Chains A and B, each alone.
Chain A
Amino acid sequence: MKALRAATPTLVSLVAALAFGVVLLLLAGAPPFEALWLLVQGSFGSASKVSATLLAWSPLLLASAGLVVTFAAGLWNIGVEGQIIVGAIAASWVARSFPGPVWVILPATILAGAIGGLIWALLAGALKTYGGVHEIFGGLGLDFVAAGMVVYLVLGPWKRTGVASTSGTDIFREEAWMPGLDALGTGWPVIPVALGLASVLIVWLLLRGTRFGLRLKAVGRNPRSSFLLGIPTNRYVLGAFAIGGALAGIAGTVQATAFHHKLVPSISGGYGFLGILVVLLASFSAAWIAPIALFFVAISVGSTQLDLRLGLDSAFGGVLQGVIVLFVMIGGAWSARRSPVSPAARGEP
């Protein structure tokens, strides 16, 4: 019963968000319930759709897991989009340049992605710790640079044979593709999902069950006390960036080798920023990441149907996601107002 009462503000917010979505659909002249049903169908309506949803789930899981780590250290890692991109670039480089069978290329692309993302994140971390540049701006700037790098590669040195096009590079040779299982003829994304779920599990374990994770949490909540307790705070901040970047980089590998099978300008798929929404909604805890991420990609994948069937812009999915997070945040803060924070040792001379 207590759990239900605690969940009430969240449930109310979710209902309110849904109501907002319905109103919005009405405003756009669309049949609301049919549209919502299309969302569900679009993500789970058939085996191939489920497969697509699961494939979309993976990079979001990876990015979100990485963000849980950086948030735990008290950081706003807005550079996550750039980290995904650079990971994808690194993986693409391996896919294009290295010969070899799939069981060699696969770990190589994953490793490359991780390293690429890690380096990109450490750049943002270094800008923060040694350059005094807030990680939001460092991260944003590096996002832009990464986006520029991708465009340059796709239109320049790695351009498609024939005419350069923003539709991407040449498709990678098949051995470089992340393999699926050819059941049902559609290739279930077993490896990507496994990577994603493993990352969430590892992050959960790391934060809950290791000294490193505990110290990271301490640094995130009170850097001052942590320093006095003997924790080298700078090293932990950089470590958080490294882990977050590596996981985001692997998300980039998935995008490049499992989804697109080539490098495209939009390679990040927006999963970095979406991951921030997921973690905000999960109240920064790893436990809820998996179901929330699945919910969100279902909305994203499903909303492509809105375009096909009803002629509505698929950005509706993004609106729904944003409204859910906003309402839940407000609902949570509103109900927290009722119970006053204990002043504890807040006496005054």
Chain B
Amino acid sequence: MEATLNSIIAAAAPLVIATMGETITEKSGVVNLSLEGSLRLSAMTGFVVAFWVGNALVGFAAAAVVGAMIAAIIASTSIRLKLNQIAVGFVLTLLAADLASFLGDSFVGERGPRVPALPIPVLSDIPFIGKVLFDHDLVVYGSFLAIAITWWVFYRTRAGLNLQGVGERPEGAFARGINVNTLRFWYTVLGGAMVGIAGAAYSLDVKLGWRETLTLNLGWIALAIVIFGGWHPLRVAFGAYLFGALQVLAFHLQDVFPGLAQVLPIAPFPLMILALVFVYSSGFRRIGDRFPRMRNLLGSEAPAALGTVFERE
């Protein structure tokens, strides 16, 4: 049992980091639709750079840069050139994915450095919880940090509140002296960098090595998880772990139901859609009214200005 939970947490860690990044981006009002391509390209880059240099950390840094650059293209073309974020994001999805396949071709099958396991002394000896939570590597601990920091910044700092304001009502934020477009740009880049790190986590940690199908559909799933999670870091993380659990379940069941293993990884998406329809329904909203403290956690509204361009005049 502990081993299963352990593997779920480990398997979901990169997805957690990616979804935290996209949550930050979308909270500021920008949609980074390119996740499917970004994850792939940054996974490849992280692996290749780590392979050349012989150091996984450098690989992660390179991957973060790639993710940040893709995000920067979306942010700047939207803010400066008024291009549609969805259009640019979609083109970048295909472009980045193909770039990854092309450039990574000669590295398929190679063995590269990996992130070493790092069980935390003392804590990992605690029965049950120790094995589940503290017997991992830096990437997983990083994912925990990502959840904690994102949550803390959003709801316990001024910067986080300002960020939420920017995505919700940019004119209001602007009237309060906040520089809307600058913030949007940098938060989008930050989110992209986190996606990049997540990509590298797949090629240097969770799945090891590079092949075209390494991060298959995970980018699209990440986008759905952000919506499913109502743009709240804790709920989004929950969605990521849920998906991780489904993946592990599929793995274990594939001997029992042969066809299922192919189908199960695909099933979460339509499940997400059903969840979305339910979450938008009035019944769910009434639960939120019953527990006002939990309102943030249970709310499901997109930042009202998501995907829009802010113009002063």
- Among A283-313, those with CB < 8 Å from B are 312-313
Q: How far is the CA of A321 from the CA of B77 in the complex (A)?
A: 19
Q: Do A137 and B86 touch (CB < 8 A)?
A: no
A93 at interface (Cβ–Cβ under 8 A)? no
Contact status of A319 and B91, CB under 8 A, knowing A132-B277, A140-B269, A151-B263 = no
Residue of A nearest to B280 (CB): A132
Q: Do A326 and B273 touch (CB < 8 A)?
A: no
Q: How far is the CA of A145 from the CA of B264 in the complex (A)?
A: 10
Q: Which residue of B88, B102, B258, B277 contacts A326 across the interface (Cβ within 8 Å)? A: B88
Q: Do B86 and A316 touch (CB < 8 A)?
A: no
Q: How far is the CA of A151 from the CA of B95 in the complex (A)?
A: 26
Q: Do A155 and B259 touch (CB < 8 A)?
A: yes
Q: Do B263 and A148 touch (CB < 8 A)?
A: yes
Task: Give B168-204 as 1s and 0s: 1 = Cβ < 8 Å from A's Cβ atoms.
Answer: 0000000000000000000000000000000000000
Residue of A nearest to B108 (CB): A313
B81 at interface (Cβ–Cβ under 8 A)? yes
Q: Which residue of B99, B223, B262 contacts A319 across the interface (Cβ within 8 Å)? A: B99
Q: Do A28 and B95 touch (CB < 8 A)?
A: no
A144 at interface (Cβ–Cβ under 8 A)? yes
- Among B91-124, those with CB < 8 Å from A are 91-92, 94-95, 97-106
Q: Do B262 and A326 touch (CB < 8 A)?
A: no
B88 contacts across to A, CB distance below 8 A = 326, 329
B266 at interface (Cβ–Cβ under 8 A)? yes
Contact status of A145 and B98, CB under 8 A, knowing A330-B77, A333-B77 = no
Measured between C-beta atoms, what is the minimum distance from A154 to chain B in Å? 9
Contact status of A141 and B270, CB under 8 A, knowing A27-B103, A152-B262, A329-B87 = yes
A145 contacts across to B, CB distance below 8 A = 266, 269-270
Q: How far is the CA of A276 from the CA of B267 in the complex (A)?
A: 25
Task: Give A313-331 as 1s and 0s: 1 = Cβ < 8 Å from B's Cβ atoms.
Answer: 1011111011101100110
B224 at interface (Cβ–Cβ under 8 A)? yes
Q: How far is the CA of A12 from the CA of B269 in the complex (A)?
A: 40
B151 at interface (Cβ–Cβ under 8 A)? no
Q: How far is the CA of A313 from the CA of B97 in the complex (A)?
A: 12
Q: Do B102 and A315 touch (CB < 8 A)?
A: yes
Measured between C-beta atoms, what is the minimum distance from A60 to chain B in Å? 14
B6 at interface (Cβ–Cβ under 8 A)? no
A329 contacts across to B, CB distance below 8 A = 77, 83, 87-88, 91
Count how many pairs of residues, one from A and one from B, have CB atoms less than 8 Å apart in the complex: 123
Residue of A nearest to B217 (CB): A144
A156 at interface (Cβ–Cβ under 8 A)? yes
Measured between C-beta atoms, what is the minimum distance from B120 to chain A in Å? 38
- Among B59-98, those with CB < 8 Å from A are 77, 81-83, 86-88, 90-92, 94-95, 97-98
B99 contacts across to A, CB distance below 8 A = 24, 315, 319, 322
Q: Do A148 and B266 touch (CB < 8 A)?
A: yes
Q: Do B266 and A330 touch (CB < 8 A)?
A: no
Q: How far is the CA of A334 from the CA of B97 in the complex (A)?
A: 25
B270 contacts across to A, CB distance below 8 A = 141-142, 144-145
Q: How far is the CA of A78 from the CA of B267 in the complex (A)?
A: 18
B262 contacts across to A, CB distance below 8 A = 148, 151-152, 155
B97 contacts across to A, CB distance below 8 A = 315, 318
- Among B207-255, those with CB < 8 Å from A are 217, 220, 223-224, 227
B90 contacts across to A, CB distance below 8 A = 76, 78, 273, 276
B297 at interface (Cβ–Cβ under 8 A)? no
Q: Do B259 and A156 touch (CB < 8 A)?
A: yes
B147 at interface (Cβ–Cβ under 8 A)? no
Q: How far is the CA of A155 from the CA of B91 in the complex (A)?
A: 32
B102 contacts across to A, CB distance below 8 A = 24, 28, 312-313, 315-316, 318-319
Q: Do B94 and A273 touch (CB < 8 A)?
A: yes
Q: How far is the CA of A136 from the CA of B220 in the complex (A)?
A: 10
A280 at interface (Cβ–Cβ under 8 A)? yes
A230 contacts across to B, CB distance below 8 A = none
Q: How far is the CA of A326 from the CA of B33 in the complex (A)?
A: 14
Q: How far is the CA of A337 from the CA of B101 in the complex (A)?
A: 35
Q: How far is the CA of A130 from the CA of B276 in the complex (A)?
A: 13
B272 at interface (Cβ–Cβ under 8 A)? yes
Contact status of A133 and B276, CB under 8 A, knowing A315-B101, A319-B102 = yes
A-B contact pairs, 5 of them (CB 8 A): A152-B263, A315-B99, A316-B102, A318-B101, A333-B82
Given A133-B276, A137-B272, 19 extra CB contacts under 8 A: A76-B90, A131-B277, A131-B280, A133-B277, A136-B33, A140-B220, A140-B224, A141-B270, A144-B269, A144-B270, A145-B270, A277-B91, A277-B94, A315-B100, A317-B98, A321-B94, A322-B98, A325-B91, A330-B77
Q: Which 8 A-B pairs have the closest CB atoms?
A: A322-B95, A318-B98, A315-B101, A313-B105, A333-B81, A148-B266, A141-B273, A315-B98
Show the binding face of A for B, using Cβ within 8 Å.
Answer: 24, 27-28, 76, 78, 127, 131-133, 136-138, 140-142, 144-145, 147-148, 151-152, 155-156, 273, 276-277, 280, 312-313, 315-319, 321-323, 325-326, 329-330, 333-334, 337
